[in-house]
Amino acid sequence: MSRTVRIAGVNDEPSSSWDLDEGLDVLDELGIKFIELRAAYGEMVDQMDDDTFLRVADRVKERGFTVTTYLGQVGRALPDESLRAQDIEHITRAVQRADYVGASQLRSMGYKTGDEGTDWFAVAVEMYAAMTKIAAAGDKTIILENPPNRTSAVCTLPEILKALQEVDSPHFRSNFDPGNFGAHGEVGIELFEALKDYIVNVHVKDIREPGDTSTYCIAGDGACGYPEIFKRLYEIGYSGCITAEPHLLHSEQFHVSGRENYIEAVNRITELLEEAGFTVTRGPE
């Protein structure tokens, strides 16, 4: 049976300067018209004022791109009282901005840990539950992405799975990024099997040496096991996006791959998906 999967790009990853049109030019060259919107003009989407965001969003629309996910930054910092209020504000605004660009998913990360004596995992889950209610009211889904750094309260497989189970909402689901798990030394198909009922979004980066983020590499060249992961995605009938986020210059610059690296990464991902049985589409029919 043939199954179709969409391949998407992260808009800023091909551009070392996070230039909007430069990144979109590379994606156009690849024929990719699905994007996750993360940053432009040196700013993350959550940092942009309304005028800047509208300028970015209108340019994305003008160039014919479909936004699948709003890659906000909630969940990246320590959830103290002031940050909690900020993240609630950002999720509320993210729902509105996602509406404007037609996206259904809002990204959250794993929150940092602070001083001993506080259950930072419980605080994070409290935040996820509150933000999920806001997302659900706007008919959006928060996707939980585990961060690669080790200072987070929700980053390893047991923590991610427990958070998903405790919030227990169809509007709170998993981003599956094997490379981020690899940053914590976690690799293998067991990661997928544990999370498969929650996965609605997949980011693709690979890692040669688990635990070392300076060794991110082209999918299939590392330890994450992408051929088997893609085969299992095919077998369960996965129909979400597969998003190329290879971070191939991560050791030099935050979440950047550059033009040539990004093109090579996308072409390899496409090959692996097709070998798994998928028909790959890069834009709306």
The 10s digit of each residue's pLDDT in 198-236 is 999 999 999 999 999 999 999 999 999 999 999 999 999
Long-range residue pairs from 82-86, CB within 8 A, at least 24 positions apart, any chain: 84/127
**How much is the pTM?**
0.95
Nearest of 143, 133, 159 to residue 104 by alpha carbon: 143
- pLDDT value of residue 171: 98
Domain count, the chain: 1
Q: How many CB atoms lie within 10 A of CB 89?
A: 12
Domain range for residue 104? 3-281
> What is the domain-level CATH number for residue 140?
3.20.20.150
- pLDDT value of residue 267: 97
Contacts of 116 (CB under 8 A, 6+ apart): none
- pLDDT value of residue 76: 86
Contacts of 128 (CB under 8 A, 6+ apart): 108, 142, 144, 163, 167, 172
Residue percentage of the chain with pLDDT more than 70: 99
- pLDDT value of residue 256: 83
pLDDT band at 148 (very low <50, low <70, confident <90, very high): confident
The phi and psi torsions of 242 (rounded to 5 degrees) equal -110, 115
C-alpha to C-alpha distances, 14 to 20, 26, 29, 30, 176, nearest whole angstrom: 10, 7, 11, 11, 21
Instruction: Tell me the per-residue pLDDT of 96-134, one tens digit each, with 9 for 90 and over.
Output: 999 999 999 999 999 999 888 899 999 999 999 999 999
